[in-house]
Amino acid sequence: MKNIENIKTVVFPVAGLGSRFLPATKSVAKELFPILNIPLIEYAVDEAKKSGIEKFIFVISREKLQVARHFETNSKLERELKSKNKKFLEVITKNRIPKNNIFKVFQERPLGLGHAIWCARKYIDGPFAVVLPDDLVFSKTPCIQQLVDIYKKHKTSVIGIQEVSMDRVNQYGIIKTDNQKTNDIMTIQDIVEKPSIKRAPSNLAIIGRYVLSYNIIEELSKKQTGVGGEIQLTDALKNSINTSRVLGYKFEGKRFDCGNVMGAIEAQVFAALKEDLYKKDMTKILQKFLKKDY
């Protein structure tokens, strides 16, 4: 195992069922759903690229091969665009990842996020990043870069954290901390997966951005099942707290849970309002709707 300080590897676990988005996800992976004209997975890859990542591991199911293919060369489409519409040629070529930098791993059954990451182990040889593409983050500094910076400084696992309203704590892994180093960095003392309001130790929720030390792979190898009979990443993190420090980091940025319908709609509107090309039209549409003029 390499003891590198620079984080060059990212894991995208994208083998989940996406049940909250059925029936759409029966035939289309939710990671390919677009926010404006860009699929979620492309935002995630872009964030990782801008954060200095060079090795991209996709954990997929047999039905979701298309998610990784999105970054490969599409010769037929390129030929067509070359003769018909060069403007769009650049759009589809600039998102490519060099062949040697893409790694695909199959998770044969959706046994949980922890299991998905464990499936990627043969390509992991040191600390690594994990990005869940359905958590879309718009930020000044790419979200995973923010976590990489904290990792480099403290040399221990860092998890992306955000405050959520108490009526939502049952949808997240919630952390316990009374050791807030700064306003943004905290030592995690415990993690409770999807607690009731009563059992929640705080309203600080784990979001889909992680930079993890290699020891988490060893923890995941124990294949302990947790909530929902799944192998949860949060359980492995919780166990690793006994032997090494795990930090929570309240990152800067606006995050949307695009794994559920309303979260994805909110992200669409936000993205349109912040993009010059769509801003004016989006504002007009919203004003019209608010006046019930439809």
Residues forming contacts to ligand UTP in the complex (CB under 6 A) are 13-20, 59, 107, 110-113, 115-116, 132, 134, 259
Q: Closest approach of Cβ 292 to ligand UTP, in Å?
A: 32
Coil, strand, or helix at residue 10?
strand
Q: What are the phi and psi torsion angles at 17 (to 5°)?
A: -80, -25
First to last CA, the chain: 61
d(CA 120, CA 105): 6
Q: Closest approach of Cβ 257 to ligand UTP, in Å?
A: 8
Residue closer to ligand UTP, measured from CB, 55 or 115? 115
Q: Closest approach of Cβ 31 to ligand UTP, in Å?
A: 7
Q: Closest approach of Cβ 110 to ligand UTP, in Å?
A: 3
Shortest Cβ contact with ligand UTP: which residue? 16
Residue closer to ligand UTP, measured from CB, 19 or 93? 19
Residue closer to ligand UTP, measured from CB, 141 or 225? 225
Residue closer to ligand UTP, measured from CB, 112 or 248? 112
d(CA 283, CA 294): 15
d(CA 219, CA 242): 11
Contact 206, 191 (CB under 8 A): yes
Question: Measuring CA to CA, which residue among 77, 71, 244, 73 is closest to residue 156?
Answer: 244
Q: Closest approach of Cβ 114 to ligand UTP, in Å?
A: 9
Residue closer to ligand UTP, measured from CB, 142 or 173? 173
